[in-house]
Amino acid sequence: MKVLVADDSGVMRKIIVRALNGCGMTDIVEAKDGKEGWNLFQAEQIDCVLTDWNMPEMNGLELLKAIRGSGSEVPVIMITTEGEKAKVLEAIHAGVTDYLCKPFEQEDLMAKLDKYAPA
């Protein structure tokens, strides 16, 4: 399974990639913002997207809307500090598959990946 990790924080991308690697996932592409993530999504065969909400150029919600607007039903999991009910509902209405608030445990991320995008 190829996973796209989009987050403007290099440290957070490393944490997510390390969590994925710890569970045997190594086919990972990284994006520093939603725009780069969208370009990679269009160029690569992505099976799952893990995205932050707050990023420059194109935020995670805009990335989600672009993915859904393309007709793709690939799982998109928002990993963000945006935990307010209104934000969660906005993401749900835009077609997010699931939501994970930072900080998170590796086990929580893996449970979501197993549920929506089994290897």
Question: What is the predicted pLDDT for the residue at 59?
Answer: 97
Q: Count up the domains in the chain and report the number.
A: 1
pLDDT-based confidence at residue 119 (cuts at 50, 70, 90): low
80 strand-pairing partners: 101
pLDDT-based confidence at residue 106 (cuts at 50, 70, 90): confident
Q: Could you tell me the CATH number of the domain that includes residue 24?
A: 3.40.50.2300
Tokens found for residue 25: 């996932």
Per-residue pLDDT averaged across 94-104, rounded?
A: 92
Range of the domain at 111: 3-116
What value does the mean pLDDT of the chain take? 93
pLDDT in tens, 28-86: 999 999 999 999 999 999 999 999 999 999 999 999 999 999 999 999 999 988 778 89
Is residue 55 within 8 Å of 33, Cβ to Cβ? yes
| pTM > 0.85: yes or no | yes
